[in-house]
Amino acid sequence: MEMFREIMGRVSGYIYPNEIEINWSILIVVYPYLTGLVAGAFILASLVKVFNVKELQPTYRLSLLTALSFLLIAPFPLLLHLAWPMRSFEIFLTPNLTSAMAMFGFVYAWYLMGVLLLEVWFEFRRDLVVLARETKGVLRFVYRLLSLFSSDISEAALAFDRKAIRFITIIGIPSAFLLHGYVGFIFGSIKANPWWSSVLMPIVFLMSAIVSGIAMVVLLYMIITATRNETIDMKCLDKIVTFLFYAVIVDFSLEFLDFIHRLYESEESIQILGQLIALRLFQNLVILQVLMGMLVPLAILVVVELRRFNDDMRKLLYFISVILIQLGIFSTRWNVVIGGQLFSKSLRGLMTYKMEITGLEGLLTALVLLILPFVILTVLVRILPIRRLDQQALPPG
């Protein structure tokens, strides 16, 4: 009875009995956030190999490893939410082509094994062979194993690697779009929920994914170069931020267009959605997502574009901007997933989500899932050179 009173204290208006409990928790917020970073980082990498943007070459390998690190953790929020992770393999044994959620398994497997792992292997193969020749002991075996015991670094073999990388990157771009676009497709297809049902939802998800992935690579590039006492390539950094600037503008325009479209339709749900924003999501939506996560970094990037600051000032402004963008994108995921469950299907009541601290779907679990990709990335950048070894003299082999 005490628990019931506590739950009812978080309810206002009239709701259906089966809506008292919020089904999708913070883990479902983390899931689209991680997949968005994967898609954005890979698309940034594709600018080098497909669109030949040479200024971004210093961040190409970092972008690939970032996408791989986050992709390895991306399915865990869903598996933990299902509570029966071992049953996830059943989607491969009994595929249901009409289930968008079940098709994620195939999209994920293709993107991991058919795109990212192959491109990473072809990109690092030459350096792995070189490192296997230069190192000794266990590390030498590790490099030989990672190179799949390949030893051919002749010009013909390297030319084949370059062709393979370009081919994989070309087919990887629509794969990256599909990976994150389908998440928005799932939300946008739920017609019964006016907060989610929008034809623009997949595009908004995709553009916000590109923004978050580019911002994350900028953040990691600045941190890694600083911790290694290396010099940041400002030409590269300025170029990335230019792409980030245009991506933020497109993302902001799409979200604003989606908002205007909802107002223009003015369906019967517009009143409860207004209450939802004013009473439940004002801080997360208006303050964190729109103001701090989009308008402030956009204003900073505009100022940087219009004025000629020195390198140190630009680095500081870029760093602040990408931090705020990450805050805004995570707030976007929160407002979509949690916000869409806070109003009753009767359109006459609001609920409140009380997040657990511990437990399988609690805050600590979410934090672990958010930290794990960075741990994996730390290991990868220690083993694999994020700068090419092309300029080094090859040992006799």
Residues 352-364: pLDDT tens digits?
A: 888 889 888 899 9
Cα gap 99→96, rounded to integer Å: 6
Give the model confidence (pLDDT) of 11-21 as tens digits: 788 888 777 77
Residue with tokens 């399988």: 360
The overall average pLDDT reported for the chain is 88
The predicted model scores a pTM of 0.91
DSSP-derived letter for residue 269 is T
Tell me what pLDDT residue 158 has: 93
Cα 200 to the center of its chain, rounded Å:
19
Tell me what pLDDT residue 391 has: 52
Cα gap 217→44, rounded to integer Å: 9
Tell me what pLDDT residue 90 has: 81
Comparing CA positions, the residue from 301, 318, 218, 216 lying closest to residue 252 is: 301
Is there a contact between 77 and 24 (Cβ–Cβ < 8 Å)?
Answer: no
- Of 136-145, 172-181, 340-349, the range with the lowest mean pLDDT is 172-181
Tell me what pLDDT residue 374 has: 97
CA quadruple 143, 145, 147, 149: dihedral positive or negative?
positive
Q: For residue 197, with 0-12 CB atoms within 10 Å meaning exposed, 13-18 middle and 19 or more buried, which class applies?
A: middle
pLDDT band, very low/low/confident/very high, at 143 (cuts 50, 70, 90): very high
Cα gap 226→237, rounded to integer Å: 13
Is there a contact between 384 and 54 (Cβ–Cβ < 8 Å)?
Answer: no
Q: What percent of the chain has pLDDT over 90?
A: 52
Tell me what pLDDT residue 377 has: 96
pLDDT band, very low/low/confident/very high, at 396 (cuts 50, 70, 90): very low
Give the model confidence (pLDDT) of 259-316 as tens digits: 888 888 767 888 888 899 999 899 999 999 999 999 999 999 999 988 878 999 999 9
Q: In the structure encoding, which two tokens stand for residue 304, read together?
A: 């940087």
Residue 192 clears pLDDT 90, i.e. is over it: no
SS3 33: helix
pLDDT band, very low/low/confident/very high, at 325 (cuts 50, 70, 90): very high
